[in-house]
Structure 1
Amino acid sequence: MARLAFGPMTAAYASRPDRSRGRLHPEPESGMRSPFQRDRDRIVHSSAFRKLQYKTQVFIYHEGDYYRTRLTHTLEVAQIARTICRALELDEDLGEAVALAHDLGHTPFGHAGEDALHTAMAGHGGFYHNDQTLRILTALEQRYADFDGLNLSWEALEGVVKHNGPLLPLLPGAVLPTTIDGFRAVWDLDLGSQPGPEAQVAALADDIAYTNHDIDDALRAGLLDLDALRPLPLVGPVLAEVEGRHPGLPRRRLIHETVRRVIDQMVTDLLAESRRRLTAQGPASVEAVRAAPEAVIAFSDAVAADLQVLRGFMFREVYRHYLVNRETSKARRVVRDLFALFMAEPNTLPTDWRRQAEAASAAGQARVVADYIAGMTDRFALLEHQRLFALDRPV
């Protein structure tokens, strides 16, 4: 079958699908899709991706239909990443694939669930959502006849693992997460270099999306009021501008108009700073991007500093709001209870999971239990907890 062209021309420093380092398990190439398109499509069709619909972003899924879930957040990150990749002449499909996969390893109940599972896994390698994402992509998704995982391209796996930056050298006392460390012996993802430019884009698209959309959700939930935003950088000036241009605009529209303009400003700044760095460094290939001493995709120093102020504000006023604390406290208890019970009584696990746990070492059993819990949606974890701990509820 004749191989199709892979879309618009890309910059010299972009990842090129026709120069991909391939897949761990060799497969015939598609005549209809580039390797990075296939990566994206496999992620979208995975079980882990579907589960994101009922996994928490900030608010527990049952709090309201309008709040974001991991799935809606992921789609928003992918849209921003694809826009930036197109503007910088990068490979849009690879940027989108990394964005779509970046949160697959999250537990139910967001970071509260991850923290609880990490504590429970102390002594067994801990739990890190990025490490769990690699487990899903290389082992836990079992859909294909010839291999476990999704058999993504080297570039997609590298991008997911390193999208927040190089993992080596380690800081004193630090260790690599279990799966990432073990995978080095199977396939070297070059953990000491910068990620490819598309992965760098996905990481900052994540920052843009969650910062702005968490503000949006917090306003809708009543955890913030608009006056609290006025002193803040980025958001405050845009809010004042929108109110000046549209006096009397209904609150709902005012929020949306402000958030979308802040996103636009951040994307515009990122494009300007990234172009400045690319011009200054002049990388002639994607390998030159990986070998660079710093990321080539970045915000300006001013916007990066403003973003830190926004993050600090959101941490104090939203992520540690007493109503959120109450929900996360319950979430941590659910995860702790489930982990303790399944470790003490693995015969209460579903049959396939029980067989894996009983055949494993102590550390292996803990990892099986962590895999089972991490794969739960919020509502399934709550239901499983009720089945096992509510004495008046049928099993």
Structure 2
Amino acid sequence: MAAPRALYACDPGRSRGRLFAEPESATRSAFRRDCDRVIHSTAFRRLKHKTQVFVFHEGDHYRTRLTHTLEVAQIARAIARQLGLDEDLTETLALAHDLGHPPFGHAGERALDACLEAHGGFDHNAQTLRVVTSLEHRYPDFDGLNLTWEALEGIVKHNGPLTDAQGEAIGRYAGHGLPFGITDHDRVYSLELSSFASLEAQVAALADDIAYDAHDIDDGLRAGLFTVNDLREMPLTADMIDDIAARYPDLDEVRRGAELVRELISYLIGAVVTEAEKRLGAAGLDSVEAVRRHGAVLIAFPREAEKAEQGIKAFLKLRMYRHERVMRVMGEAESVLFDLFARYQRVPADMPPEWLQAEPESDTDRARRIGNFIAGMTDRFAITEHIRLFDSTPELR
């Protein structure tokens, strides 16, 4: 059962609006329109052929960026519903959060960041903002999707403020400053980078963590990188495995794994809701603006669940993300993007005509344009391009 709309929820009827003014819809709220625009975008469709952990041709049943994104959206809506938040905005942010990811998962991000090191680097959150504000070309009156201010804020700040009150970069950006895609946009349409984002954005961020943990376990089991019993290394999953064994003593390995994943998702969602209700009750907030001014995260795991979740991430890092098989394939994938970037720099005409620039441009502008082109590729298109342009292409298997 859905909770009544909370005072601290974002209200589409009070949205700060869009950069380009549009007539309101007679049938959909502002946030529902945002969500629909994300679903119908070209970038969203491309997620079905972008790597989560395993490259697309390694098997039809592994997660892709698209299936991961849909799972994040389901978890996010479940949490938002129990907390009385706006489900449409929450879903928008969950569906949009990976639009800026390049091919080949985090390996592709590392490769593009290295290629663009002298030109501001590459950041997938900044790239997502660029996709929804300029790179999508679907509407006659503007580039991008013209999402509401609340949607753009959530895309950029779902992990917390990016600057302090004086405008200095903090957190992950403290050492080298904010990505150019975010600073460029903020000068045109300020997203108040020093404040916290809405609760809907905070929910989407935690839902991403939950989906990663649970479904990467599922994929790791399917790939044979570890077994259900290996997950006894962690107290939380050990207890769940024992409980499953007591209830279903003769369950086969595949169903044991699936039941464990379901139990884990339910536990983490419940833990987030309980902790959020505790923090929100103590804070006594009466508006979304009070959420932004609060100065602390309100949607979070309680301490015990956070410790367990960090243990799962550590397990997956060692047994999955750094597994020799995964590391070898991702190393080859990085080499594909390094090759493509260097080739397009040498021979820009190898890119499609719509990506060519007739007027003279700086080295930085050219590099960023190439980066935008590569970031939008699917895994298989990147491989196809490499086969077209080079004599030898890694098989990525």
Q: CA deviation at 1:307?
A: 1.0
Cα deviation per residue 1:345-384 (whole Å; 9 max; x = unaligned)? 112111111236x642110000110011000000000010
Paired residue for 1:176, among 175, 178, 193?
Answer: 178
2:326 is aligned to 324
**Quick check: 1:47 aligned with 2:42?**
yes
The SS at the match of 1:175 is coil
1:92 is aligned to 87
1:148 is aligned to 143
1:211 is aligned to 213
Q: CA deviation at 1:128?
A: 0.5
8 A contact 2:3–2:81 mirrored in 1: no
1:333 is aligned to 335
Q: CA deviation at 1:294?
A: 0.8
**Quick check: 1:70 aligned with 2:70?**
no
Q: CA deviation at 1:233?
A: 3.2
TM-score (norm. length: structure 2):
0.95
Alignment of structure 1 residues 96-111 onto 2, 5 Å: 96-111=91-106
Paired residue for 1:18, among 13, 18, 35?
Answer: 13
Alignment of structure 1 residues 1-395 onto 2, 5 Å: 9-169=4-164, 170-171=169-170, 172-355=174-357, 359-390=360-391
The SS at the match of 2:190 is coil
Q: Distance in 2 between matches of 1:254 and 1:42?
A: 38
Cα deviation per residue 1:149-193 (whole Å; 9 max; x = unaligned)? 000000000001111111112245330001101111111101111
Q: Distance in 2 between matches of 1:225 and 1:89?
A: 38
Query: Structure 2: which 5+ runs fail to align?
Result: none
1:4 is aligned to none
Matched residues, number? 385
Query: Structure 1: which 5+ runs fail to align?
Result: 1-6
8 A contact 1:230–1:240 mirrored in 2: no
Q: Distance in 2 between matches of 1:352 and 1:162?
A: 32
State the Cα RMSD in Å.
1.4
8 A contact 1:348–1:354 mirrored in 2: no
Matched residue type, 1:10 = R
Q: CA deviation at 1:391?
A: 7.2
8 A contact 2:47–2:378 mirrored in 1: yes
TM-score (norm. length: structure 1):
0.95
8 A contact 2:102–2:109 mirrored in 1: yes
Distance 1:274 1:390, change over 3 A: same
Question: Which piece of structure 1 moves more, 41-50 or 169-178?
Answer: 169-178
Q: Distance in 2 between matches of 1:12 and 1:338?
A: 50
Q: CA deviation at 1:48?
A: 0.1
Matched residue type, 1:131 = A
Q: Distance in 2 between matches of 1:303 and 1:200?
A: 17
Q: Distance in 2 between matches of 1:225 and 1:8?
A: 39
Q: CA deviation at 1:293?
A: 1.9
Q: Distance in 2 between matches of 1:228 and 1:328?
A: 24
8 A contact 1:233–1:309 mirrored in 2: no
Distance 1:361 1:11, change over 3 A: same
8 A contact 2:19–2:146 mirrored in 1: yes
The SS at the match of 1:376 is coil
8 A contact 1:139–1:148 mirrored in 2: yes
Q: Identity of aligned pairs, percent? A: 53
Q: CA deviation at 1:330?
A: 0.8
8 A contact 2:101–2:124 mirrored in 1: yes
8 A contact 2:52–2:65 mirrored in 1: yes
Matched residue type, 1:221 = A
